[in-house]
Structure 1
Amino acid sequence: MSIIEAIIFGIVQGLTEFLPISSTAHIIILQWLFGIEFEGLTFEIVLHVASVLAVLLFFRHDVIAIIRGFIRFLVQKDTGERASFLFGLYLLVATAITGILGLILEDYAEYYLKSPLVIGGALLLTGIFLLVIERIHYRYTRAAEDMTMLDAFIIGLAQTLAVIPGVSRSGSTLITALAIGIDRKTAVRFSFLLAIPVIAGSSLLAVGDIVQGGFAEGNVVALILSFVVTFIFSIIGIKWLIQWLEKSKLYYFAIYCFVIGFVVIFFLDPTVV
């Protein structure tokens, strides 16, 4: 992998990880376009770790408050921290559901779901859901304190769909949260914070790939450069999405998903005439 390619991968990963347009699909598409096949999971792990560090930095105050409140409620029985405890508990429940189902479906997705037709179709489906959710905006009424265990369970199930390349992790959680009546501010916050344990957990499970020689000679510079670029553009992507959702609609992301989906199906899938 060249330095330019490493930079491009970093930019794309950083910008798409938290936008509802599937970072996994974009990384796979770039591999097809550049004719690159990653050996093992090292490169993907490095990109994901950079993204999760960006979320931790951006939401550090929220993370600290939730952890502190969670511990105080459990240990000191501080009822004033009940809201933080429940929010943290909901994050853990959603993560557990995603983790368990993700492990079950991971091998199947790895071998059978990385075709242009599947990825393009998943992008089109994401676009449809983004359009639909804008039509029921009047239902966005519940804040963080109004969330329930059922909400966490449903969002966790929805996040599992991201095992399909082309289905956005952030998009699936955001769309589902909005669909069940959670307001935009809470939905975005929950989606971003949920990314921390999910991405960190999946990266930790795959760290054995690095131990087994993932840092091949000649690739270290590209890995480090991609990590730095991904971290920087993840911060940009997070800020941009939050500002965008305050002023604009999800329609534009839907249009983007439609365009990329059709391009993948009709130009990158050799089975489609």
Structure 2
Amino acid sequence: MSLFEAIILGLVQGITEFLPISSSAHLIIVQAMFDMSFAGFSFEILLHLASVLAVILYYRRDLIEIIRGFFAYFTNRSTQNKSMFFFAIYLVVATAITGVAGILFEDYISDTFKTPTFIALALAITGLFLIIIERFVKLGNRTEKEMTFTDSIVIGLGQCLALIPGLSRSGTTLIVGMFAGLSKETAVRFSFLLSIPVILGSSVLAIDDLISGALLEHTGMLELSLSFVITFIASWIGIVFFINLVRKSKLIYFALYCFIVATLVFLFRDSLNMSGM
């Protein structure tokens, strides 16, 4: 892997991970456009770890509040502690649903749906639902205090759809959460916090490569470090950018972007070589 590839992949992963435009689709498209390749699944996991580090640091106060409230609830069942206790439980439930789906279906989905035509279709579907949720659905106002187990199950199932390349994890969880009646702020917060256990759980798959040094041998320390740092910085920018636009009800911009990328991928589908990915 060259330094150029390390920079490009880091930027793409970081910027797209938390925007509703599918980071997996963009990584696939960029690799096909520039005829890039990287050593196995572990490099992609490493980039995701950089993204999740940005989330952890951005939401560090929320995480401390949730963890503190979760354990405090066993001795002090105040309204606040109860809210944080069940919020943590809901994150676990949604994560478990996604984890089971990933174990059962990820290989099949990856082999079946990682084609230019299907990625274009998935991006277009994402754009369509972003428009629907912003323009045609009455938004809810329920916060984490009004969340239920049903919400966590529905969001967990929605997140399973992101196993399909082209369907954004942040996009599906946000859309499903808002359809369920959660406020935009609560849906965004739950979506971002949900990414932490999901990404950390998937990183288990790369432990062998990381411990054995196989990833370092194939990629190089400088390239790995550069990609990690760039992904972290770009992820932080993406988080701030997305939260600001959601507050201003500007999801339509992401929808238009999805339609443009979907059209380009479909038009140039014969030129995109994704067979080796």
Using the size of structure 1 for normalisation, the TM-score is 0.95
Pairwise CA distance, 1:18: 0.3
Q: Deviations over 1:133-159 (max 9, x none)?
A: 112442322111111000000000000
Which residue number corresponds to residue 120 of structure 1?
120
CA RMSD of aligned residues (A): 1.5
Kindly provide the amino acid, as one letter, of the partner of residue 270 in structure 2: D
Which residue number corresponds to residue 221 of structure 1?
222
Q: Kindly report which structure 2 residues correspond to 1:84-233, keeping only aligned pairs within 5 A, or say none.
A: 84-212=84-212, 213-217=214-218, 219-233=220-234
In 2, Cα distance between equivalents of 1:139 and 1:256: 23
In 2, Cα distance between equivalents of 1:180 and 1:162: 18
In 2, Cα distance between equivalents of 1:83 and 1:135: 31
- Alignment partner of 1:126: what SS? helix
Which residue number corresponds to residue 63 of structure 2?
63
Pairwise CA distance, 1:127: 0.7
Contact 2:134 2:249 in 1 (8 A): no
Pairwise CA distance, 1:265: 1.3
Pairwise CA distance, 1:270: 5.5
Contact 2:42 2:205 in 1 (8 A): no
Contact 1:136 1:179 in 2 (8 A): no
Pairwise CA distance, 1:42: 2.1
- Alignment partner of 2:64: what SS? helix
Pairwise CA distance, 1:168: 0.1
In 1, Cα distance between equivalents of 2:219 and 2:122: 35
Of residues 92-101 and 31-40 in structure 1, the stretch that sits farther from structure 2 once superposed is 31-40
Contact 2:66 2:84 in 1 (8 A): yes
Which residue number corresponds to residue 240 of structure 1?
241
Q: Kindly report which structure 2 residues correspond to 1:1-16, keeping only aligned pairs within 5 A, or say none.
A: 1-16=1-16
Pairwise CA distance, 1:70: 0.8
Q: Deviations over 1:41-91 (max 9, x none)?
A: 1210110000000000000000111011111113x2433410000111111
- Alignment partner of 2:73: what SS? helix
- Ranges in structure 2 where 5+ consecutive residues have no aligned partner: 273-277
Contact 1:117 1:269 in 2 (8 A): no
Aligned residues: 270
Q: Deviations over 1:104-150 (max 9, x none)?
A: 11111222221111111110110111111112442322111111000
In 2, Cα distance between equivalents of 1:153 and 1:29: 31
Kindly provide the amino acid, as one letter, of the partner of residue 161 in structure 1: L
Kindly provide the amino acid, as one letter, of the partner of residue 202 in structure 1: S
In 1, Cα distance between equivalents of 2:73 and 2:195: 24
- Alignment partner of 2:138: what SS? helix
Q: Deviations over 1:197-253 (max 9, x none)?
A: 001111123322334522225522111100000001111110111111112421110
Kindly provide the amino acid, as one letter, of the partner of residue 124 in structure 1: A
Contact 1:41 1:209 in 2 (8 A): no
Which residue number corresponds to residue 265 of structure 2?
264
Using the size of structure 2 for normalisation, the TM-score is 0.93
In 2, Cα distance between equivalents of 1:218 and 1:172: 32
Q: Deviations over 1:17-56 (max 9, x none)?
A: 0000000000011110111122211210110000000000
Judging changes above 3 Å, is the alpha-carbon distance between structure 1 residues 85 and 11 closer, same or farther for their aligned structure 2 residues? same
Kindly provide the amino acid, as one letter, of the partner of residue 262 in structure 1: T
- Ranges in structure 1 where 5+ consecutive residues have no aligned partner: none
